[in-house]
Structures are given as C-alpha cells and as structure tokens.
Structure 1
Amino acid sequence: LLGTVLLGARRFRGGRNPQPRRAPPSPTYRERGDTTESFPLDFTAVEENMDNFMKQVKNLAQSLYPCSAQKLDYDMKLHFLENSSVTCNDGTPAGYYMKESLGSRRWLIFLEGGWYCFNKENCDSRYETMRRLMSSSKWPQTKTGTGILSPLPEENPHWWNAHMVFIPYCSSDVWSGASAKTDQSGYAFMGSLIIQEVVKDLLTKGLDKAKVLLLAGSSAGGTGVLLNVDPVADLLERRGHTTVQVRGLADSGWFLDNKQYRSTDCHDTVSCAPTDAIRRGIKYWGGVVPERCRLAHLGEEWNCFFGYRVFPSIKSPVFVVQWLFDEAQLTVDNIHLTGQPVQEGQWRYIQNLGIELRNTLKDVPAMFAPACLSHEIITRNYWIDVQVKGTSLPRALYCWDRSFYDNSRNNKAPPKGCPVHLIDSCPWPHCNPTCPTIRDQFTGQEMNVIQFLMHMGFDVQKMAQQQGMDPSKLLGMLSSGS
C-alpha cells in the first residue's frame, strides 16, 4: 500500500487541479457504487511520517475518484442519548454529534465549553441569553468539525482519520453535575452523566474495538477533561474494555484560583472570584469530582476544578494546552481589556499571571503553552500555525502519541526533534510572533506586536531600561519576533 501511495503521489502531485473528464462508469460499476465500500485499514501503524502519508493518501484518492471525492460527507450528525433520563438543564434530551471513519481504531470525543452558572438567578439569565448552552431544543441536525475535529488532513494532519464525536455543552456545570431537575433548582445538572452515557452509546457503535480514545475539550470543556478522563477510563475498565487507551487533551481549562486584580461582589461568573463561583456551583449542581482528588481535598472538593490541584491525582495521560495569558482567566481576575491602555498595575498583574501559570505547568510532562493573549485553540482553523520553540501543536500531539508507541516497544529515548514539553519563556503577551492575530476592539484593524503592546500601555523606554538595552534595539527585537 505504501509503495502504491508513494508512486501515486508522484504521478498525481498537484492532484487538486481539475482532472480530465472520464467516461461514465458502466451500469455494473454504478450498481456496486450504490453501497458504501469500506477498507478496514488501521493507519495508526504508520508512525514514521504520518502527516505526509495521510496527505498522500487523500491526494491519491481524490485523483483516482474526483467525482466521489466531491460527494464526501464531512459533517457530524446529531444523535440523542439512548437513556432519555439524562438531560440538558431544561429537561430536553442530551446528545452528541458523530462522524464515523471506517477502518480507524482511534476515537476523539470533544467536550464543548461555555462558562457556567451557579445559582437560580444567573442560570435564569443564562437560559434567556444563551439557551443553546442549556437546551437541545434548537440544535441543528449536523455540525462541521474544525481544527482537531476537521476531517481534512491539511487542517488536521494527525487526527483527521479518527471517529469524531462532539458533545454539546448543555449542563452549565463544568461537566461535573449528577443531579436531576428539582423544583428548588429549576434545572438538571448532569454534565458528568452525559459523558458517561455518550461513552456507553458509542460502545455499541464501535468504540469497544478502539485502540485509543482521546477525551478533548476547550475552556469549561478543558476543565471537564481533567474531571472526567479517569472516570471514563474506569467505566471502560469496568465493562471489560481494558485494551482501549484513554488519554486527555485539556485546552484552555487550566484555571488558577488566584487573587483577583480588583475584588468585586459575586453576582455572576464574570464578577465572581473563581473560587467563590466554584464553591457555590459545586453545591448547586450536586457536582462530582474524581475519587482520588476528592480524597485529597475532603470537604474542599472545589479544589479539583483547578488544573494544578487536580492534575497530580489523574492516572490517565493528559496533554495540557494553555495560553499563558488566557483571556477568560483575565476576565474572572477583573482585568478587562476595553481598548484603553492598561494601567501600570494591570500590566504588572498580566505579566505575573504568565509567571504563575508557568510555575503551575512546570511539572506537567506533556504541554503546549504559548505566550499569547487568547482563549481556546484546538478547534480553531489556525491551530496549526501557532508554534512554541519552532514546534506546532499538531506536531507536539503527534510526538506525544509517538511516545506511547515507542514506550510500548521499550524504546525509552524520545525521537529527536519531537518535543512534548513546550512552554514560552518570553515575559509578555504576544511576544511569540506566531500568536493569533489581534484586532483593535473598536476599529477592527489588525495590530502587529509593537502596536499591540503600545495599545496595552507598554512603555518601551522603561522596559528597555529594565532589560539593560537601548530602546531602538528592543523595538527591533520585538519587530523581528525575537
């Protein structure tokens, strides 16, 4: 197969160009084509150059079958849970979107994010303004995957061929609740149960034969990964599926329980200090946390919602993706970037946030932490462009996967040029030149690094003095992305 692909790739390089019109297929061929043909190949065995291999396979397939390639259905389709007693906040059925990938033994289950609510008042407000995050009543029938959920190799070079599952967030409980709707609460909070029921449903759809299950999520979904990756592994083990390797990918869910820049009264998730909101929420939701973390924080289970506190108790391998200057973290810390230059105290607070995050991540073996001001990345189409020390996130995830493959063969030495512990060392937001583009919140104009830092109130003269260098030299370094 590999020889054929390589030959085909050479013959059909540039296979995206229009192909010569072919004669219509014979009636016999058409009749055969009416039923879906599958080729149950396990591509996970190709380890040396997976990215290039997958691109060649797709280009060859499109070159050989240009007509059928246009009809490929890339969308994930909506399924409601078999167990109808597990619901969204308002009692409507919970569910998931799924796209199968015939022949693959890799599964990716993604948990959507979207903040949370922690009492009747702000949950009522959330229901009025963000109903799709509390109800399935208006979910569309299909959903198109992007970033790590994309079926296109050029957008998703390592995971495009996996079975894709997207679980919409409709429980408002950081994927932790296990309580039915009551007259007192007015809502059901069943985030942890939704995940368990989705996994049970998928076992009847091929997950029982999986080699790898990657539980991924962004924002509240990223925190949900930290809370649920071990319970998912335990569920599969209890059901006898011990050969499925369960791993986690937590994006933008590594929050800090730090002191706010400016304290305010606790009314909603934006004004409330992180610890206060979670303390209230866990009681309101009937939230559950992993058993090992619960035992480590008896009576203070809220600790388990903060990455650096729950991580030491997690048994499953987890890859952490975290912006060093996370916009959601800054929001709950009462740093609001409104378009006005920040004050010196705010600037110091922002820089200290990066230092604090670095300190909490230093013992995480597999991670990707760019010095950018942003929030969420793995489902963005630009996720392949951001780099830390010359390595992109898809490449780092490939290296992480490769490390399990090598370890299973008792090869302890990591492959050269394949790092999995990647964290920026530069000290301010967007000092990494591959950060996502920033736009002025009022004009919509793109800003380069210098414009952005000046917009943030960055004092070039003062910073140059602190670094012991000439201001013009510092500006030159910023311009070149050094």
Structure 2
Amino acid sequence: MASPAPSSASAPASHQLRLCHQLRLGWRRRGRGGAVGATFSVALLAAALLLALSYYASSPPTASSSALVGLTLVRRAKEKGAVCLDGSPSGYHLQRGSGTGSRSWLLHLEGGGWCRNLRSCASRQKSVLGSSRYMEHQIEFAGILSNDRFQNPDFYNWNRVKIRYCDGASFSGDVKDELQNGTKFFFRGQRIWEAVMGELLLKGLSHAKQAFLTGCSAGGLATFIHCDNFRALLPRDSRVKCLADGGFFLDVEDISRKRTLRAFYSDVVRLQDLGGKFSHCSQNMDLGQCFFPSEVVKDIITPVFVLNTAYDAWQVQHVLAPEASDPQHSWLECKLDIRKCDSDQLEILQGLRKELHDAISELKHKRNWGFFIDSCFVHCQSLNSLTWHSPSSPRVNNKTIADAVGDWFFDRREVKEIDCEYPCNPTCHNLVFSRPFKGR
C-alpha cells in the first residue's frame, strides 16, 4: 500500500508505473506458491499505487498553479538515526507560506502501508517506501497541500510540508540493532519523526500561531499516534489540531472469519518492537490490537478530525475480502467496482459501514473532535483536488471535505457528518480498478 491517496500528486504517474512494473516482476520471480504466501505483504506495498493509477486514469486532478516542491533530506540523518529502512536519509518537502499564512503550518504524513517481516521490509528497501534513493526530487502539492486559493481556500498560503514515509511502521519504530539475519534493516520511524520535527521547529514551526498535523492511510494512523506529541512541541497559545485521512483501520473479521489485519499488525508490532509504545494497551490484549485507531484514540487529548469513507476501497480489498479469504474469487468483481457487488456482498459492505460507525461512536461525545464519513468507494481524499474541493467534489449536507475540515479547524461550526448508505450519494467519485496482477 504505497502512498495510498487516490492522487497523481503523491507521485508522478511515470514513477508509479515504474514501481508497479517492478512489483509485477517481483511477483513473477516468486512463483505461484511464493506469491500466495506473500499476498498480503505485497498487496500492502502495491495497493496504493494501484489506487492512484486507477484514479489518475479515470479522474485526473484538476489543473493547478502549484509549482513543484523540492525534496529536503534530513541533515546529519545517519548521526541522528533518522534513516529509512535501507539506511538512507529520510526527507520532506516544504513549501513556504506567505502573508496571513506565514506563521501557520500544515504538515502531512505520507502513507504507504507497513511491512510485517524481513522479506517484505527488504522489498521496501528497494522502493520509495524504504529508501530516499528512490524518492522523487520534486513533487506537486495538491488538495490540502495546494497553494491554489480556489482548490484549498483555508490553507493555501500556509507553510505546507509533506513528510516522506520510509520506515514501514507509521513513523513509530526505534530498534537499535541494525543487523537482522545478517542483513541491515533500520527500523527508525520514531527518530525520523523527531528529526523532521526538530528541523521544522528551527525553520519557524516553533513560532506557529496555528498548526495542523494531517496524514493519509498509514500516515493517518501515524497522525493518531503522534498528535499529542505534536501539540506538546508548539506554543501553548497556538491553535493545534490533527486530521487522519483514510487512517481509521478496522479490527474486523474478513469474509472467512479471520482477523487478517490484526494478525498483520501483530507482526509489525513485534518486528519493530512497538509493544511498550502504547499506554492504552493492557496485558490481556493482542499486540495487534494496540495498533488500531479505535484503541489509540482513547488516550488522545488534542482535537482530531476523522476523514474516512464508510466503504474504504483498500479495506474492502485487503481487510474485508483479502485474496486468501476468497479462493473462488467470488469477490473479485465487487472489489474492483462497487457497482458490481451483488445483494449479499452489499449487505456485508453495509455491515462494514456499521462497524466504522460503532468504532467512532465514542468520538461523537468529544466536543472538539470532528468527522466526515462519506459513502464513496475510495481511499484517502484530502490530497486530490477533485475530492478535496472542486465543483464536482463529493458532498455531505452540501459541504465539500475542504468546507467541512475548514469549518471544524476554525471553529466555525461543529462538524460531525455521516453520509447515508451506498448508493445514496450521487456526488461520490468511486474508484474502478483493473484486474489485479497475478503471480505466475
């Protein structure tokens, strides 16, 4: 699941195609047996690229005046231990604010899934998700990162930062040992977070009048994890809030009655030694449970906005109906195009929607929190100009996502929006996927 936002802004299409080609070759080399065993891990590495490419092909983003924003590598990264999985320096893209936004900051944590074992982490070392050697030197900022006032009316002139994701555990790991089975792996997400924050504080973040930490997918989970720490770094009189986009992953049974994502998370937590990181975890809880947002949010004090769809495309494909749970491929067409789901499958999808509503029920009583739960078949919506704020953006109660987020951040109104059941909302941009790659 690489940079899972459905947006070409997260990476040029040519780069996405190149990485997808590398993934395809990797699957072919493994052979059929190996592909089945590694399906979920490889899917995490590829899913967001497929999401981005499908969205790019069917609904290209609107034109933007945004300039390309250069990559800044963390200074003395190796000395600080703030390195990617392969030991290369971590990095970020910074576009300076202006005018009334010169002392306001918006930070975005990039998504890209997780790796559960040394084999899957080794694959990431050779990609943008595990090495700055593969990162684009320049990227375009769109959606919530755009400097276009019409596309991004509330945050266009802020200092805007995209923090690159290359540690495989939502910016959380900090394992001192580098050698794992004779190969070097650097599980240093926590140090990346600290080093990037240190640099940005010196560049003006420490004087911010208002600051907004956001993230998509695995970056959305990281936003939950780091939200209160972000608040603690900033002046007490500043307005500080957080937004998690497509990051409210659910601890649900798949269609074969297994908890696929919980098992995956358990491996991530063990591999990167995250067990002692979460104070909300009790001794009788499975380690994987500690990594779910429904548990992480219990300790968060800082106001958070949850942006999610009730039919998250990535979760439908890889949590609700992963390939291993569907050997007959009866869910294949439904996972590619929600319009092709039969009545029984739609009933299960409505159950997924209910699970999300139940999981966020506690948030309804948090006065300063907000949420926008639409009924679209997508994954991450804040980084794409079309879904963030445009004449054809998805709406709930006639508000775009940008409208809702801005109203909440600036306390213009309380925002707790829940859409009606699919297929009620005609403004949705539902993703349509081509058939996934198969191992041979």
The TM-score, its normalising length taken from structure 2, stands at 0.72
Q: CA deviation at 1:440?
A: 6.4
Structure of larger gyration radius: 1
In the other structure, the counterpart of 2:224 is: 226
C-alpha contact 1:178 1:288 (8 A) present in aligned 2: no
> Does structure 1 conserve the Cα–Cα contact (< 8 Å) formed by 2:376 and 2:430?
no
- 1:180-215 deviation per Cα after TM superposition (whole angstroms, max 9, x unaligned): 452116311122221121111011111111012211
Residue 127 to residue 262, structure 1, CA distance change in 2 (3 Å): farther
Bigger relative contact order, structure 1 or 2 (CA pairs below 8 A, ≥6 apart)? 2
> Does structure 2 retain, via aligned residues, the 8 Å contact 1:211–1:244?
yes
Distance in 2 between the 1:187 and 1:420 partners? 43
Q: Determine if the alignment matches structure 1 residue 316 to structure 2 residue 302.
A: yes
Matched residue of 2:403: which SS? helix
Give a deviation string over 1:52-103, Cα, whole Å, max 9, x none: xxxxxxxxxxxxxxxxxxxx97332221112412100000011111011134
Residue 118 of structure 1 is matched in structure 2 by 116
Specify the code of the residue in structure 2 equivalent to 1:179. Answer: V
Deviations 1:256-301 (A, max 9, x none): 111111257xxxxxxx71111111111101226765434x567645
What is the CA distance between 1:358 and its match in structure 2? 1.4
Kindly tell me: are residues 352 and 125 of structure 1, through their superposed partners in 2, closer, same or farther at Cα, counting changes over 3 Å? same
Q: Deviations over 1:292-319 (max 9, x none)?
A: 434x567645333222222121011100
Q: For the residues of structure 2 that align with 1:120 and 1:339, how far apart are their CA atoms? A: 32
Unaligned 5+ residue runs, structure 2? 1-64, 324-330, 335-339, 364-368, 436-440
Confirm whether residue 80 of structure 1 aligns to residue 88 of structure 2. no
Structure 1 partner of 2:264: 277
The separation in 2 between residues aligned to 1:399 and 1:225, in whole angstroms, is 20
Other structure's SS at 2:417 match? strand
Amino acid at match of 1:88: C
Cα deviation for residue 379 of structure 1 reads 0.1
**Map of 1:187-266 to 2, 5 A cutoff?**
187-234=185-232, 236=233, 241-262=235-256
Tell me by how many angstroms 1:346 deviates: 2.9
How many Å apart are 1:223 and its aligned residue?
A: 0.5
SS of equivalent residue, structure 1 residue 386 = coil
Secondary structure of the 1:283 match is helix
Deviation at 1:140, TM superposition (A): 2.7
In the comparison of the two structures, how many residue pairs are matched? 342
CA 1:262 to 1:343, structure 2 compared with 1: closer, same or farther past 3 Å?
Answer: farther
> RMSD of the TM alignment (CA)?
2.4
Q: Cα offset for 1:142? A: 2.0
1:398 to 396, 406, 427: 406
Equivalent residue of 2:221, what SS? Answer: helix
2:377–2:430 CA contact under 8 A, matched in 1: no
Give the deviation of 1:326 after TM superposition. Answer: 0.6
Partner of 2:328: none
Q: How does 1:19-418 map to 2 (within 5 A)?
A: 74-84=67-77, 85-103=81-99, 104-128=102-126, 131-180=127-176, 182-184=178-180, 186-234=184-232, 236=233, 241-262=235-256, 273-287=260-274, 292-294=279-281, 300-330=286-316, 331-334=318-321, 338-339=332-333, 341-342=340-341, 344-364=343-363, 365-382=369-386, 383-384=388-389, 385-403=393-411, 418=413
Which amino acid counterpart does residue 221 of structure 1 have in structure 2?
G
- Scaled by the length of structure 1, the TM-score of the pair is 0.66
Change (3 A) 1:440 1:73: closer
CA distance in structure 1 between the partners assigned to 2:283 and 2:370 by the alignment = 25
**What SS is found at the alignment partner of 1:96?**
strand
Structure 1 stretch displaced more, 311-320 or 177-186: 177-186
The answer (yes or no) to whether the contact 1:110–1:215 under 8 Å persists in 2 is yes
In 2 relative to 1, CA 222–440 (structure 1 residues): closer, same or farther, beyond 3 Å? Answer: closer
Superposition deviation, residue 163 in structure 1: 0.4
Which residue number corresponds to residue 32 of structure 2? none
> How far apart in 2 are the matches of 1:297 and 1:169?
30
| Conserved 8 A contact 1:89-1:172 | yes
Contact 2:278 2:290 in 1 (8 A): no
* Mean CA deviation greater in 281-290 or 142-151: 281-290
In the TM superposition, what whole-angstrom CA distance separates every residue of 1:455-474 from its partner, at most 9, and x where no partner exists?
xxxxxxxxxxxxxxxxxxxx
Determine what percentage of the aligned residue pairs are the same residue.
29
Output the CA distance in 2 between the equivalents of 1:370 and 1:156: 20
| Partners of 1:261 and 1:202 in 2: CA distance | 44
Instruction: Map Cα deviations across residues 86-125 of structure 1 (whole Å, 9 max, x no partner).
Output: 1000000111110111342111111111111111122223
